[in-house]
Amino acid sequence: MMTYWIASATYGPEAFARAQWFFGSWFGRLVLLGLTVALFYHLANGVRHLAWDIGWGYEMNKLKVSGWAVVIFTFVMTVLTFAAGYALRGGG
């Protein structure tokens, strides 16, 4: 998606306007939401795996806590990212 957006800028104003329109549409925003969720989930689980690599977190209670931490981190960061994006964009 990022490549498409940057490449569209190199093809001229019409191509860039189409890319901007797509990302501003409800479907484009839905795709960006999904990619944002996937990004933060992958980031949080990567940190969780790093902890496992050093031997921390194999107990059942720590597994449950770290699993919920991943889900909560993903949700909070996704909401904050979209809130910041809408605030910088000037709203709807």
Q: Which domains, ranges and CATH numbers included, belong to the chain?
A: 26-89 (1.20.1300.10)
Mean predicted confidence (pLDDT) in 47-63: 95
Q: Is the pLDDT of residue 64 over 90?
A: yes
pLDDT digits (tens, 9 = 90+) for 35-47: 999 999 999 999 9
pLDDT digits (tens, 9 = 90+) for 7-39: 999 999 999 999 999 999 999 999 999 999 999
Both tokens assigned to 20: 């901007």
Q: Specify the pLDDT at position 89.
A: 81
Spatial CB neighbours of 18, under 8 Å, sequence gap ≥ 6:
8
Quote the pTM value: 0.83
Q: Is the pLDDT of residue 59 over 60?
A: yes
Q: Choose among 32, 37, 31, 67: nearest CA to 49.
A: 67
